[in-house]
């Protein structure tokens, strides 16, 4: 990488982190460390909510989704706007009425302590693992792209996050996320503009090509529960997932409870609902444009070059032969596209995929722990090979900033939940330095996230991994909160038993899914668990009531 890129990268990150530390230099109070300053603007709240959601995985994996498949991933977000409205109407007033710091305090007031601790534990498990993945995702791609050892990159990203989060807590996270999100949007706009200019056909022709090659498929009306992204899973599963994420996940709740008043909290949520889906659509569109770009510029047969470099000498000739066949198929496909021979283009595209599959099989046979999924490397490959000096550094800063913003929000929320829902419950009466305890918890969770990242395996697609992790836990959490908000007569024991059974059921479903004994899209986990909690809670409640009447 050119020295100018290193300068731009370092300067951008230093300015963002320095700004966060400077703004909280006077020493944040314990309250600000936990929930942020109440003086931040509604716009900052909205950008903070988006920044916590928009991890580096969003900007690395989402374009790869559209490049390799189609635009169908956007269906994942179809339930979000309605979820935001419901959270604004029901969840926000309930939290603000009791002046909650964490969402889980509401559960002790409504049910009992064990329900609060159980639900908080589910959050800590889910978000603790996700925090590690949000560090690991950009680290593994950046390490391969710029030649920095993976573990070193993980530690660098994690250390930067820990420094300013320990320094200013939630207050520092809030003020830095505004500028991180600004840099992210600016960088993506620049990358999209350059990509469009490098495609040698008009945008009409580009999308005509993408459409005929099956990349513009957006909505699937399939009723097959094994289909990962459909209109129905997006509206139902996506609604339940978004409702749980926005309404009960402390990394989100902490952002809008840090607002001055209820109106500002709701504005931040509605801001997110307005711009989140269009942003995801735009990022997927970049993936489609990358596909078109690589119809005119010869792509590598496999985008993760670091894996190819590990190949032993004895298979190099076979690899080169497959690379040549792949290149010849690409030449024929390009000619077919120029002549608008769509059947021919699709034939040669399938032929390319066959050579690519053979190439990966050969690597898999000869490499230990071969990682066959390279879609997360498509966008970073384009950046490194096609952007001018200086802008490469800026786009790398975008990716790292996204990792920092989401990880900082997660670590801060984990520390806040641990302190409020566990430390204060069990040790709150003991004399202790609040600020030092909170900062220690931030440090410990930051280290934990780094350790998870160091141990994290690769997955089919990193953004899917994060969403699967959420779906394993969010349905149970949401079900407990919905019972608390709307089923006023259901008691603590009933909802606690319902929650336990729902969580065990989802673990069993996911295990059977992974073994091929069950075929169900992970978004449906959210619906299943939520309904189990509500259904069992009501059954147990009416069963106990009927037993009491008979006695």
Q: What is the pLDDT of residue 507?
A: 94
Q: With cut-offs at 50, 70 and 90, classify the pLDDT of residue 537.
A: very high
Residues 262 and 120 in one domain: yes
Query: Range with the lowest mean pLDDT among 61-70, 107-116, 406-415?
Result: 406-415
Residue 545 has pLDDT above 80, yes or no: no
Q: With cut-offs at 50, 70 and 90, classify the pLDDT of residue 44.
A: confident
Q: With cut-offs at 50, 70 and 90, classify the pLDDT of residue 150.
A: confident
Residues 129 and 62 in one domain: yes
Residues 333 and 396 in one domain: no
Across residues 391-408, what is the average pLDDT? 80
Residues 334 and 277 in one domain: no
DSSP 122-150: HHHHHHHHHHHHHHHHHHHHHHHHH---H
Q: Dmax of the chain from CA atoms?
A: 83
The structure tokens listed for 550 are 């008979």
Residue 32 has pLDDT above 70, yes or no: no
Nearest-angstrom CA–CA distance, 183 and 404:
12
Which range is most confident: 370-379, 423-432, 523-532? Answer: 523-532
3-class SS letters over 425-457: HHHCCCCCCHHHHHHHHHHHHHHHHHHHHHHCC
Query: Range with the lowest mean pLDDT among 68-77, 164-173, 379-388, 431-440?
Result: 164-173
- Is the C-alpha dihedral spanning 494, 495, 498, 503 positive or negative? negative
Residues 316 and 446 in one domain: no
Residue 496 has pLDDT above 60, yes or no: yes
Q: What is the pLDDT of residue 551?
A: 46
Among candidate residues 366, 392, 412, the one where a domain is terminated = 366
Percent of the chain's residues with pLDDT above 90:
36
Across residues 244-262, what is the average pLDDT? 85
389, containing H or E segment: none
Across residues 136-161, what is the average pLDDT? 80
Residues 356 and 422 in one domain: no
Residue scoring higher pLDDT (396 or 210)? 210
Query: Does residue 299 fall inside a structural domain?
Result: no
Residues 115 and 191 in one domain: yes
Please write the tens of the pLDDT for every residue from 111-125: 999 999 999 999 999
Query: Does residue 305 fall inside a structural domain?
Result: no
Helix (H, G, I), strand (E, B) or coil at 49: helix
Nearest-angstrom CA–CA distance, 509 and 532:
13
Helix axes 523-550, 492-514, angle to 10 degrees: 140
Residues 9 and 71 in one domain: yes
Among candidate residues 366, 391, 411, the one where a domain is terminated = 366
Residues in contact with 228: Cβ distance below 8 Å, sequence separation at least 6, in sequence order: 464, 521, 522, 523
Please write the tens of the pLDDT for every residue from 189-236: 888 999 999 999 999 999 999 999 999 999 888 888 777 788 888 888
Residues 426 and 330 in one domain: no
Query: Does residue 185 fall inside a structural domain?
Result: yes
Please write the tens of the pLDDT for every residue from 451-477: 888 876 555 445 566 667 778 998 999
Residue 550 has pLDDT above 50, yes or no: no
Query: Does residue 29 fall inside a structural domain?
Result: no
The structure tokens listed for 207 are 């999308």
Residue 63 sits in a domain whose CATH number is: 1.20.1730.10
Residue 534 has pLDDT above 90, yes or no: yes
Query: Range with the lowest mean pLDDT among 134-148, 366-380, 493-507?
Result: 134-148
Residues 158 and 210 in one domain: yes
Query: Does residue 25 fall inside a structural domain?
Result: no
Across residues 71-77, what is the average pLDDT? 88
- The range of the structural domain enclosing residue 335 comes to 311-366
Helix (H, G, I), strand (E, B) or coil at 185: helix
Q: What is the pLDDT of residue 358?
A: 95
Residue scoring higher pLDDT (291 or 42)? 291
Q: With cut-offs at 50, 70 and 90, classify the pLDDT of residue 286.
A: very high
Residue 384 has pLDDT above 90, yes or no: no
58, 463 in Cβ contact below 8 A?
A: yes
Residue whose structure tokens are 């040790």: 427
Query: Does residue 371 fall inside a structural domain?
Result: no
Residues 349 and 456 in one domain: no
Query: Does residue 27 fall inside a structural domain?
Result: no
Across residues 262-278, what is the average pLDDT? 87
- What's the domain count of the chain? 2
Residues 350 and 431 in one domain: no
Across residues 29-33, what is the average pLDDT? 59
Query: Does residue 375 fall inside a structural domain?
Result: no
């Amino acid at each position: 990488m050119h020295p100018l890129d290193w300068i731009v990268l370092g300067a951008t990150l230093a300015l963002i982190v320095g700004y966060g530390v400077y703004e909280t230099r006077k020493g944040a109070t314990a309250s600000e460390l936990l929930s942020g300053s109440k003086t931040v603007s509604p716009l900052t709240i909205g950008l903070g909510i988006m920044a916590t959601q928009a991890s580096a995985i969003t900007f690395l994996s989402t374009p790869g989704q559209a490049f390799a498949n189609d635009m169908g991933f956007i269906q994942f977000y179809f339930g979000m706007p309605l979820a935001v409205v419901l959270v604004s109407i029901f969840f926000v007033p309930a939290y603000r009425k009791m002046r909650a710091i964490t969402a889980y305090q509401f559960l002790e007031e409504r049910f009992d302590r064990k329900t609060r601790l159980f639900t908080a534990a589910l959050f800590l498990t889910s978000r603790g693992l996700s925090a590690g993945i949000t560090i690991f995702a950009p680290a593994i791609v950046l390490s391969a792209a710029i030649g920095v050892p993976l573990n070193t990159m993980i530690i660098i990203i994690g250390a930067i996050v820990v420094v300013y989060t320990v320094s200013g807590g939630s207050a520092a996270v809030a003020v830095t996320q505004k500028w991180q999100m600004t840099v992210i949007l600016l960088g993506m706009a620049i990358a999209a503009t350059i990509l469009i200019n490098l495609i040698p056909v008009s945008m009409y022709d580009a999308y005509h090509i993408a459409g005929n090659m099956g990349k513009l498929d957006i909505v699937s009306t399939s009723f097959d529960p094994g289909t990962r992204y459909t209109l129905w899973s997006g509206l139902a599963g996506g609604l339940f997932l978004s409702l749980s994420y926005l309404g009960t996940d402390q990394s989100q709740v902490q952002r809008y409870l840090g607002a001055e008043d209820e109106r500002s909290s709701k504005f931040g949520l509605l801001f997110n609902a307005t711009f989140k889906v269009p942003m995801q659509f735009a990022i997927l569109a970049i993936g489609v444009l990358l596909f078109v770009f690589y119809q005119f510029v010869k792509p590598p047969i496999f985008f993760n070059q670091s894996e190819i470099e590990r190949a032993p000498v004895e298979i190099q000739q076979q690899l080169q032969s497959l690379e040549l066949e792949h290149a010849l198929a690409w030449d024929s496909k390009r000619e077919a596209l120029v002549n608008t021979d769509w059947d021919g283009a699709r034939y040669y595209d399938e032929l390319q995929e066959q050579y690519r599959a053979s190439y990966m099989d050969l690597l898999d046979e000869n490499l230990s722990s071969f990682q066959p999924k390279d879609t997360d490397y498509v966008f970073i490959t384009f950046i490194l090979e096609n952007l001018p000096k200086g802008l490469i550094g800026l786009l790398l800063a975008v990716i790292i900033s996204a990792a920092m913003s989401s990880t900082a929000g997660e670590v801060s929320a984990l520390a806040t939940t641990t302190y409020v829902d566990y430390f204060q419950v069990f040790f709150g009466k003991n004399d202790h330095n609040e600020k030092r305890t909170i900062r220690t918890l931030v440090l410990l969770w930051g280290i934990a996230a780094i350790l998870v990242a160091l141990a994290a395996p690769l997955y089919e697609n990193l953004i899917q991994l994060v969403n699967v992790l959420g779906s394993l836990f969010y349905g149970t959490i949401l079900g407990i909160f919905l019972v608390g908000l709307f089923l006023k007569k259901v008691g603590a024991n009933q909802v606690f038993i319902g929650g336990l059974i729902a969580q065990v059921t989802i673990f069993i479903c996911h295990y059977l899914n992974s073994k091929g004994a069950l075929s169900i899209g992970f978004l449906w986990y959210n619906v299943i668990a939520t309904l189990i909690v509500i259904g069992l809670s009501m059954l147990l409640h009416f069963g106990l009531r009927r037993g009491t009447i008979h006695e």
